[in-house]
Amino acid sequence: MCLAVPAKIISLNANADDLLCTGNVDFSGVQKEISLAYVPEAQIGDYVIVHAGFALSILDESEALASLQAFQDLADFEATL
């Protein structure tokens, strides 16, 4: 099973070639560099869905926050087991 996770863009590493554009994102405290080749229009502060190191799409902030809350609720539930 594959999992795509919302992350917030915290910086951009611009490149003249959109296929080489990258950015740094925050996954609830964990920061990673990812490819923005599929969403070159993404900006700092945007939430993106990330899978295998690639941002696949830009998310509405409310959708992203709801997804992140669902992940947190699951983690909290698992901690009670």
Q: Which of 59, 64, 60, 54 is nearest to 21 (CA)?
A: 54
Res. 1: pLDDT tops 70: no
CA 59/CA 65 separation, integer angstroms: 10
Q: Using only the alpha carbons of the chain, give its radius of gyration.
A: 13
Q: Which CATH architecture does the domain made up of 5-79 adopt?
A: Roll (2.30)
Q: Which tens digit of pLDDT belongs to each residue from 3-51? A: 788 999 999 997 888 889 999 999 989 999 999 999 999 999 999 999 9
Half-sphere exposure of 65 (CA within 13 A, CB side): 5
Q: Which tens digit of pLDDT belongs to each residue from 17-26? A: 888 999 999 9
Domain spans of the chain, in order of start: 5-79
Pull the structure tokens for residue 32.
């990673």
pLDDT score for 12: 96
Using pLDDT thresholds of 50, 70 and 90, give the confidence band for residue 73. very high
Provide the mean pLDDT of the chain.
91
